[in-house]
Structure 1
């Protein structure tokens, strides 16, 4: 239970009690990131369903607000930082780490965040059954488990810490759970290429995974799954 609470504290802005934890506890918390996704997805689905009864666009806006509010825009911040770093490194690869460590958002980051929010807003308008937003958020958070295992750490930090707390058995466990939904939601299989493509892009353009890489990847995998769900309707 401690590791689940830590995962919820890290991945959401829910008011949870403070608990004592060491580095090993934080490392093991990553195993529960998909469970935190279930909570995030449930809140988003509830907002889409409740406000969507008034107007579909209002439901989409409410769902987007719940998504950003539940995560504290943590993953959006990572997306912005990654966009700025990739943009800067296009002409000068040596600037990549310097830009990633800069807390300010540049033009590339601002555009990426705006485009991401617009994409989610439009797709939330057309998702149909809001209940499927729950596995979408959970599936996207399987990504960090995979990226931690297959990619080198870009620098010492959370990525390095998490590596000691997860294994392939945890990926298989969550993957098996998601597979149970495939007969009624075959579009969920798109999580596999989405996670793999992000890992490939990170390896080629950035060279390693970081907290920003995890956050950006979660955002992009969520959007890819929303698109797959809409196209499958």
Structure 2
């Protein structure tokens, strides 16, 4: 269970028991729990959306509240990674060392701000369409965390001593099982689930290729960016597929 607590501590602002951060083995086991943490986040979003529907809140207000909770639950950590990568990709001019240097800079540049605004705007718009289809809110947070798992399984972690360094020692079998189970579960959500999974895979593969080309691996910021990119792609694809099903 320590792995789960570490996963919650790494990915959310939810309270956890006191953790021994010298326990590198427990930190490594946390990676396999990432999809379950995503499911918990989705469940909390679903609970809020259900409450707001019961209160007959207008769709834009309800979507804004759900999105605010979504951002709060992660403490904006993944959005920070998205912004850092956007700035580094734009300012690094393809030079690996320059990109890594920019990734260390805590300040957000114009490209980072634009990236955050666009991702939040996409999520906000898509959430309005999904509020009445509550269970679909579970998909994006899970697929986002699966993307982080897939990065650790498929690319080298290039930041020695970074926050994710211990996760490179995660048990591969457990991580693969969690990722495959999460992917297969999407099929039970009908066409919106299939669309969300397809979009998540497409965006992940593009981002993985980009990270490999520019960095020869990935960093914690790149993992956070992967989560945000995949979440946005999944929620938008689910919303579009839902619209096609309803009007087809």
User: TM-score normalised by the shorter chain: which range applies?
Assistant: over 0.9
Corresponding residue number in structure 2 for 1:124: 127
Where 1:13 maps in the other structure, the secondary structure is: coil
CA distance in 1, matches of 2:210, 2:124: 25
Corresponding residue number in structure 2 for 1:8: 8
CA contact (8 A) 1:142 1:171 kept: no
Corresponding residue number in structure 2 for 1:193: 202
How many aligned residue pairs are there?
233
Where 1:19 maps in the other structure, the secondary structure is: coil
| Normalised TM-score (structure 2) | 0.87
Corresponding residue number in structure 2 for 1:205: 214
| Normalised TM-score (structure 1) | 0.92
Q: CA deviation at 1:133?
A: 1.3
CA contact (8 A) 1:80 1:110 kept: yes
Q: Does 1:232 align with 2:236?
A: no
Q: CA deviation at 1:20?
A: 2.7
Q: Does 1:167 align with 2:167?
A: no
Q: Which is worse superposed, 7-16 or 214-223?
A: 7-16
Alignment of structure 1 residues 90-129 onto 2, 5 Å: 90=93, 93-127=96-130, 128-129=132-133
CA contact (8 A) 2:33 2:178 kept: no
CA distance in 1, matches of 2:186, 2:148: 21
CA distance in 1, matches of 2:4, 2:97: 38
Where 1:231 maps in the other structure, the secondary structure is: helix
CA distance in 2, matches of 1:76, 1:230: 21
CA distance in 2, matches of 1:110, 1:180: 34
Q: Which is worse superposed, 79-88 or 184-193?
A: 184-193
Q: CA deviation at 1:92?
A: 5.3
Structure 1 residue runs of 4+, over 3 Å off? 91-94
CA RMSD, aligned part only?
Answer: 1.8
Match of 2:231 among 201, 215, 222: 222
Q: In the TM superposition, what whole-angstrom CA distance separates every residue of 1:29-68 from its partner, at most 9, and x where no partner exists?
A: 1110111111111112222332243111111001110101
CA contact (8 A) 1:86 1:206 kept: no
CA distance in 2, matches of 1:118, 1:56: 14
Gaps of 5+ in 1: none
